[in-house]
A and B are shown apart, each in its own frame.
Chain A
Amino acid sequence: MEGKGIELNVGPVHPATHGVLKLVADIEGDTVKNAKVEIGFLHRGKEKIAELRYFNSYFPIVDKLDYVGALNWEILWASTVEKAMNLEINDRVKYIRAVMAEIQRIMSHLVYIGSFGQDLGNLTFFIWALRERELLMDIVEEISGGRLAPMYNRVGGVFYDFTDGIADKINAAISKIEEKVKKEYKAMTYGNSLFIMRSKGIGFMSQKVIKENGVTGPNMRASGIKRDLRKDEPYLVYDKVDFEIITENDSDVYARFMVRVREILESIKIIRQLLKDMPRGDTKISAPWIMKVPAGYTLVRHEMSKGEGAMFLVTDGGLKPYRLKIRSPSFYSLQALPLVLEGCKVADAFVITASMDPVMGEVDR
């Protein structure tokens, strides 16, 4: 280190880094000259575990990849194996999965909003966001029996059908959330002058940085790139619903926050449409619990709450995967983080980190 600067280690265990992320920042005065990101503190060898397990027995492991967006990853894993086996699933399953994916997306974004408020020193907001998330948690619990790691999907379908009258409960819950997001959240965050002062004009992520580092999802859409796999490469039943791709143009922390807030409202729109035309039918097809998958390469990608998640499955015709590679969207967001942090104030560094929405479970795998 030259000059008067100091090297500051933040993390791996620090309330502002959301899990076990470590930042090593060179600081001069109050400015971050450059920053390094260290990951791997939550590495559990999930890709190795995949090679040791039957296809259906891997679901509990997938659940803990992104622990605030478990259902999205479950659906991706189920879709990957189904594509590798050439299985066609029932229409009802597609609808159920799409509803669950959107519920999970709202929950994930609510956690983002809450923890973001916490990083700004506003604990009230954390409690509020979790209060709204609890409404959906109860619904997921009633349907699947689980909360954070529901274990709801299996190859060929889902474990349980929707319970009686659940559609009304979902509608009631999302209406309540819609109202809160539009009114209370506006007063507390995106319409609040203090919040705007703290978040506008910091943490710029240009389109060049995004394209060089492979950043996807809401972080990318906040810089004006209109891309959403749900629209561009429709899977499940996303081609049958009407929704917008949310974009913002400012590419700063406030824009990244706003994309999430508006995506919650968009997801609510999608859920309402899906519940209205949900078809009848079976919730699973008879696929054996332990089965052989034909040899080959399978690549499936879905739009997760944090960006484009993908699974590259290599099979050799046996009972277990030969190799599974997981593309985690947060991994790429963190790769771009040092470039975004360069030149910011130390006090802003944590807000910028939080605005990228990294979840270490899926980064470290």
Chain B
Amino acid sequence: MNEFADKLLKIFSNSSKAADDGAIELTDKKKLLKVVERIRKNFDILFMLTVVDKPPNFELNYVFSKYESKDILILRTLIKHEESVDSITNLFPSADWEEREAYDLFGIKFDGHPNLKRILLPEDWPGHPLRKDFVVTDEIKNWTGLDLKF
């Protein structure tokens, strides 16, 4: 693990801990914006946001990177399915489409996102397909109005 991650763990020792794969695990999701604000001082972009559905929780993996070096930082936090989470678009504008995608495919609500609507799927699509409990219902089968075989 690199220096910056160690420093971050020391500052937020009450709400974070180191994971096995070198990521930082945030145990208190209310601290998210504070931690990300600290990360913003050292990293340029949200490289990717990976949401993993682990019922009954969603696991959010924020991957941050910077342009001047090959450093990478993974911030991991868990939220309940029905909970919402703070948007980090104010700090990292590159999170805009990533958060929209997470909303689209998982149904996670990001508080404070300027334009939270579906991005890959049509506006009126029923359901969130990347959830583990997603099933193809009659509503989805008949959504196009065509006689499709599933």
Contacts and interface: CB of A to CB of B under 8 A. Distances in A.
Interface in A101-152: none
A191 to B, nearest CB: 31
Contacts of B97: 331-332, 335
A97 to B, nearest CB: 20
A327 B120 contact: no
A296 B118 CA distance: 30
B93 interface: yes
Given A39-B120, A213-B93, A335-B96, A232 B69 contact: yes
Interface in B65-100: 67-70, 72, 74, 93-94, 96-97
B47 A297 contact: no
Contacts of B63: 299, 310, 312
Contacts of B93: 212-213
B116 interface: no
A335 B119 CA distance: 11
Interface in B115-134: 118-122, 129-130
A319 B69 CA distance: 35
B16 interface: no
Contacts of B120: 39-40, 43, 364-365
B48 interface: yes
Contacts of A233: 70
A57 B22 CA distance: 30
Contact of B121 (A43, A229, A325): A43
Contacts of A48: 129-130
Contacts of B74: 297, 299
Contact of A322 (B44, B46, B52, B72): B52
Contacts of A312: 48, 50, 61, 63
B9 interface: no
B103 to A, nearest CB: 13
A327 B67 contact: no
B79 to A, nearest CB: 16
Interface string A204-242: 000000011110000010000101010011000000000
A335 B98 CA distance: 10
Contact of B119 (A40, A213, A301, A308): A40
Interface of A: 39-40, 43, 45, 47-48, 211-214, 220, 225, 227, 229, 232-233, 296-297, 299, 301, 308, 310, 312, 314, 322-323, 325, 327, 331-332, 335, 364-365
Interface of B: 20-21, 23, 44-48, 50-53, 61, 63, 67-70, 72, 74, 93-94, 96-97, 105, 118-122, 129-130
